[in-house]
Structure 1
Amino acid sequence: MSMATDAAESDAGEAGRRRQPLARGIELLTHMIESPKDAHGVRELATRLSVSPSTAHRLITDLEKLGLVRRAGNGTSYRLGLEFLRLAWLTTGRYPSQELALGVLQDLVAQTGESAFSSLYDDQRRQMMFTSTVESTHPLRYTLPLQQWMPLHGGASGLAILAFLPDSVQREVANGPLAQLTPDTVTTPDALLERLAQIRRDGYAITRGERITGAVAIAAPVFGLVPGDVAGAAGVSIPESRFDESTAVEFAIKVRAAAAQITANISGQRLER
């Protein structure tokens, strides 16, 4: 091995070490955000990050200086700081995804009588999360979990997203671990890819009990600022006991129109009706 190669590898290793505090700081903040606890001790955070307590203390001290965390009432534990909350509010204000979808979902509920939802897709995770729901007035309905990352292969929303992603991503997901979310979840790679091809042809996905047992869902993709880039999905969920097969195509047309409207809202275009 040449000296030049040794030096390059050393520089790369040093760069990796310099990036670690930032990555660990983000991981620490992520844990504090997602945890149901209000305050966190240094030893707890150290265990979570698999680092020593002294390293965790240095990280938390740096974040405290930036205002991203602050000491809790007992002085020995930490909670999210006001600067973090300020940045979160600014980000939400600049990308009001819920506002872009909320009115459309309300219209969709009025048109179908069923609960409506929207979701967002994360390209790095290869996962989706439900971000907005408007529930129907029916006493029997399914409540979707919000702000939780979920796999793409189970449920209409995930399938509607996956079907419009590049073929290479579809194959990557299909050949990766496919969790059996319910007895009806498709977990065979070839069957999943065939299903995705049909969804792409139809422009929407319909599932029966594939993410939640007893629930039917119809969803269509929502696209982002760049044409063709999938941003998420929109759709309706229906208890299987109330689902009328004869309304499936009618509902699918309404769902596709709602997804197209959210896409137009994202791009700032006026959708012709």
Structure 2
Amino acid sequence: MPRTSEPGRTVGSRLLELLFAFTPDAPVLSLAELSRRTGLPHPTARRLVLELVSTGALDRRPDGRFVVGLRLWQLGTLAPLTESLRTMARPFMEDLYTALNQHVQLAIVEGREAVILERMSAPQAVGLVSQVGGRLPLHCSGVGQVLLSHASGSLFDEVLEGPLPKHTTRTVTDPRSLRRALAACRKSGYAIVRGELTDDADSVATRVMDKEGRVVAALSVVFRAGSARPSVVLPSVITSGLGLSRRLGWRPGVPIRTS
């Protein structure tokens, strides 16, 4: 049951629940859908949604449904970590995109998932399961494995000891096998994932470090299975990851740390 139905919830928390009801998979919602997703009574949802519209946090479309407003988007761009990462990463992503003509994406860890901060996509490239702002599982995506392998011990154990959904026949769901793969990723700094999240998509991903050696993001190239050899793609991805890390202040010799 959504937490908004619990007694004692503040108005602020209910407003946030309404905003967080919007996702990359559901960017346009009706009032009924917002009420259902948050657990708020319809009259309460209507009153709070209209307040959000009046402040510009939400916009009302001609068909009566709602979308995230321009003012809220502008606020989101002020988040220092994500915006600086996106800005600094774009030249490296553009180079990878130009050289390989495949999907190039940048992701960070949030909770038990990877969140895509930026992506450049080739029109003819393989279809992907998520868009910018979308989420990917940590255990079976390229960026996810890089981020998980360098995550704190508590998050690492939480994911490995929890359910590991099987997305394709090639998804690794055995915790011992996954621990070995993640240990190798932590040592090398890169992951190669073949058809574990989507049958016809392979991924090559590498870590991005800040000046203190913490892995703050993962950079990857995703391509149709069989269209490229990962060993050919890998050097360019690693070079771009190191270049972006240098822009963030990392230098060779700074030890790599878990987040």
2:193 matches 1:237: no
Pick closer, same or farther for the CA change 1:97–1:54 going to 2, 3 Å.
Answer: same
Pick closer, same or farther for the CA change 1:63–1:264 going to 2, 3 Å.
Answer: same
2:27 matches 1:27: no
Which residue identity is paired with 1:98?
R
2:232 matches 1:253: no
Identity %: 25
Per-residue CA shift, 1:168-211, capped at 9, x if unaligned?
32121111111111110111111111111111122211121111
TM-score, normalising length from structure 1?
0.74
Per-residue CA shift, 1:195-239, capped at 9, x if unaligned?
1111112221112111121322211112346x2433221122233
Residue among 104, 107, 110 paired with 1:120: 107
Give the match for residue 89 of structure 2. 101
Are the aligned partners of 2:143 and 2:205 in contact in 1 as well (CA < 8 Å)?
yes
Say which SS state the counterpart of residue 173 (structure 2) adopts. coil
What is the alpha-carbon distance in structure 1 between the residues aligned to residue 236 and residue 210 of structure 2? Answer: 20
State the Cα distance separating 1:164 from its structure 2 match.
1.1
Pick closer, same or farther for the CA change 1:168–1:242 going to 2, 3 Å.
Answer: same
Which residue identity is paired with 2:10?
Q
Are the aligned partners of 2:103 and 2:221 in contact in 1 as well (CA < 8 Å)?
yes
Residue among 126, 130, 135 paired with 1:142: 126
State the Cα distance separating 1:166 from its structure 2 match.
2.2
Give the match for residue 164 of structure 2. 178
- Larger radius of gyration, structure 1 or 2? 1
Residue among 27, 41, 60 paired with 2:49: 60
Pick closer, same or farther for the CA change 1:90–1:187 going to 2, 3 Å.
Answer: same
Are the aligned partners of 1:128 and 1:150 in contact in 2 as well (CA < 8 Å)?
yes
Give the match for residue 132 of structure 1. 118
Pick closer, same or farther for the CA change 1:185–1:258 going to 2, 3 Å.
Answer: same
What is the alpha-carbon distance in structure 1 between the residues aligned to residue 119 and residue 61 of structure 2? Answer: 34
Give RMSD over aligned pairs: 3.2
Pick closer, same or farther for the CA change 1:217–1:61 going to 2, 3 Å.
Answer: closer
Are the aligned partners of 2:57 and 2:72 in contact in 1 as well (CA < 8 Å)?
yes
What is the alpha-carbon distance in structure 1 between the residues aligned to residue 223 and residue 159 of structure 2? Answer: 27
Consecutive unaligned residues in structure 1, runs of 5 or more = 1-15
State the Cα distance separating 1:32 from its structure 2 match.
4.0
Pick closer, same or farther for the CA change 1:237–1:94 going to 2, 3 Å.
Answer: closer
Which residue identity is paired with 1:107?
D
What is the alpha-carbon distance in structure 2 between the residues aligned to residue 170 and residue 129 of structure 1? Answer: 17
Consecutive unaligned residues in structure 2, runs of 5 or more = 1-5, 253-259
Are the aligned partners of 2:204 and 2:237 in contact in 1 as well (CA < 8 Å)?
yes
Are the aligned partners of 1:115 and 1:133 in contact in 2 as well (CA < 8 Å)?
no
Residue among 40, 54, 59 paired with 2:30: 40
Pick closer, same or farther for the CA change 1:205–1:79 going to 2, 3 Å.
Answer: closer
State the Cα distance separating 1:106 from its structure 2 match.
2.4
Residue among 156, 169, 179 paired with 2:142: 156
Which residue identity is paired with 1:234?
L
Are the aligned partners of 1:46 and 1:56 in contact in 2 as well (CA < 8 Å)?
yes
Per-residue CA shift, 1:132-190, capped at 9, x if unaligned?
333469x5x32433221111001221111111112332121111111111110111111
2:246 matches 1:264: yes
Give the match for residue 49 of structure 1. 38
Pick closer, same or farther for the CA change 1:83–1:17 going to 2, 3 Å.
Answer: farther
